[in-house]
Structure 1
Amino acid sequence: MFIWHNGALVKKEEASISPFDHGFLYGVGLFETFRVYNGHCFLLDDHLARLNAGLEVLEIKKRINRPEAVRAVKELIEANGFMDAYIRLNISAGAGEIGLRSEPYSEPEMIVFSKPLPRAGSLQEKSGKIVSLNRNTPEGQQRLKSHHYLNNLLAYREMRDAPGAEGIFLTKDGHVAEGIVSNIFWVSEGALFTPSLETGILNGITRQFVIELARKAGLDVREGLYSVDELLASEEVFFTNSIQEIVACPQIGDNKLPGKAGRLAQWLHNRYAACREIYYSRNELGTEGFS
């Protein structure tokens, strides 16, 4: 198995970075995960826009454009022998002296990882469970998709008694936030609800795509601060992320939900599936009414 490291294919057993890398020492690094469908990097432009904005915040002197990313992914998946893949594009700050620094990072490490995925299929289900650990607040003004993942890891360990389910974070004030590896949506009285970025959640690329799909279909999409009771009183619930796509939720705790029988989850998944091998950005979406 190969990885792509700073412009070259490297066997994973031979890859290395410095122990003085500030991504290792202090978590100064960002990553994006996305799917490749039959060689196409779905929503790549949106992922790169988020990544590049984060790199600017962290003052890492690196910007990645679509041709560079496509070339890296193409070389990687061809070397590894698969066309449907999980991709993690990782930028680490690079080596420096021990101790915090205020200067920008000018020699970052770029690593692209891949692993094969089966061809995408029908709408899947995953139960949900409210975790007791609160969602931590972002380190800065907004949550970056960074190496700071301990909050997610500890919540994931809390889910050991519910394998295959998604843990749902609440904020310290008790508002619904997001899943451990997903954003969350629900339907109530004809409107689509999802927690606001004010809760400190990651603005997921699939989250943004689903909101755009729904709004262009004429649906009422509401972002705000919502309680667990409002979530549990909903008509259907689903999770979103870039690898699992749209995942219907049949149950949260003891509360039963329609799961993949949910009408909106089915429609959104079908629209999503029609876009997988075509679009680089949600901005390419046209209008199609929900019916």
Structure 2
Amino acid sequence: GPPLRVVTTINGRFVSRGQDKISVFDNALLYAEGLFETFLAIDDRIIFMKEHLQRLYRGAKVIGLKIPVPADRLSQWITRTVRAHPDRITKLRLTITSGESARFVGRQGKPQVILSASPHRMPQVPFKLWVSDFRIDQDSIFRRIKTLSYAIHAAALKQAKLKGCDDALLLNEKNQVAEVTSANIYWVDKGRLFTPPLSAGCLEGVTRKLVIKEAAKLGLKITEKNSTLDGLLKVDEVFISSSLKLVVGVSHLKVDKKTHAIRQGPITRLVSDHFRRLVDMD
């Protein structure tokens, strides 16, 4: 098919294909030193922008990265990049690199702020999840923030696609359910709603926070609870949430050669419909 229409800005300036380059000595490339956020935009509205930027600046403090622009300026850059894209629904990826490495260039370079808007299709059907054999370290401080170090997640996703699944479920080193490669996970058991605690090693998802808050408005209390994989295979409903997917049901969990079907239930539908309304999806 034709190449995807992508609109890119670097440090606030529009760049065309071929000019969208950073230094081969950037620490982001050499050591995955940097941060990223992914936003959903609908009709040029950037969904939950404030919450994403709060997490970004919090992450910058943790890794000692100086973001070269204040949040209000960065949000202007984000809005401008999204507006330049013709599609109604776009995904926007923000990457902040830590700049050229002093070790290789003799001085510490300036962080680069890269924004790219591209077409996005919301998931239409429930997800099949492959249970990955990669494990995440639940005790790492870096599990709290979105650094560029996503090799485990990328490898697990690639593995899942090869197995004919949509995404991969990751367990932590204690064999507890943690997260999906780019989403948080929830389950319904005997009418009650659960999600792993942050101590399980899952990312503190922007959408996760909102699911917990919004579920309360629907009369659903979410309890944070650890679960084994065996426990997850026995529940009534499973769904996932992320900025780009909002809320999507899970229809199958594939473990080795065995595929376990999961019923599509009313609570998943309730939360999913609520989120579509919340962001004016339709």
**TM-score class normalised by the smaller sequence:** 0.7 to 0.9
Aligned residue identity for 1:274 = R
Aligned partner of 1:25 in structure 2 is 30
Equivalent residue letter for 1:41: I
Match of 1:256 in 2: 261
**Deviation of the 1:65 alpha carbon:** 5.5
1:158-197 pair list within 5 angstroms: 158-197=159-198
Q: Is the 8 A contact 1:85 1:116 kept in 2?
A: yes
In the alignment, is residue 73 of structure 1 matched against residue 78 of structure 2?
yes
Q: Deviations for 1:76-122, whole angstroms, at most 9, x for unmatched residues?
A: 233332342000011111113227xxx9x78311010110124x58x
CA contact (8 A) 1:136 1:151 kept: no
Equivalent-residue separation in structure 2 for 1:252 and 1:116 (angstroms): 28
8 A Cα contact 1:199 1:225, kept in partner? yes
1:104-119 equivalences under 5 Å are: 107-118=110-121
Identity, % of aligned positions: 26
In the TM superposition, 1:60-209 aligns within 5 A as: 60-62=65-67, 67-98=72-103, 107-118=110-121, 124-137=125-138, 139-140=140-141, 142-209=143-210
Asked whether the equivalents of residues 36 and 84 of structure 1 are also in contact (C-alpha less than 8 Å), the reply is: yes
Q: Distance in 1 between matches of 2:69 and 2:237?
A: 38
Which ranges of structure 1 fall in alignment gaps of 5 or more residues? 279-291
Q: In structure 2, what is the Cα distance between the partners aligned to 1:213 and 1:65?
A: 29
> Does the 8 A contact of 1:238 with 1:265 survive in 2?
yes
Distance in 1 (CA, whole Å) between partners of 2:195 and 2:69 is 30
Q: How many Å separate the matches in 2 of 1:24 and 1:106?
A: 13
Q: In the alignment, which of 269, 273, 278 is matched to residue 270 of structure 1?
A: 273
The alpha carbon displacement at 1:66 in A equals 5.5
- On the 8 A contact 2:26/2:100 being kept in 1, the answer is yes
Unaligned runs of 5+ in 2: 1-5
* Preserved CA contact (<8 Å) 1:52 1:63: no
Match of 1:47 in 2: 52
Query: Of 7, 18, 39, which residue of structure 2 is paired with 1:2?
Result: 7
Distance 1:135 1:171 in 2: 5
2:42·2:89 contact (CA, 8 Å) conserved in 1?
A: yes
* Coordinate RMSD, CA, aligned: 2.4
**Cα pair 1:174 1:227 within 8 Å, conserved:** yes
Whether contact under 8 Å (2:127, 2:251) holds in the other structure is: yes
Partner AA of 2:29 in structure 1: F
* CA distance in structure 1 between the aligned counterparts of 2:253 and 2:87, rounded to whole angstroms: 36
Partner of 1:233: 234
- Letter of the aligned partner of 1:210 in structure 2? V
Q: How many residues are treated as equivalent by the alignment?
A: 271
Distance between the aligned counterparts of 1:136 and 1:157, measured in 2? 20
Give the superposition deviation at 1:267.
Answer: 0.9
Question: Structure 1: which amino acid aligns with 2:9?
Answer: W
Residue 38 in 1 paired to residue 39 in 2?
no
For 1:5, the aligned partner's letter is I
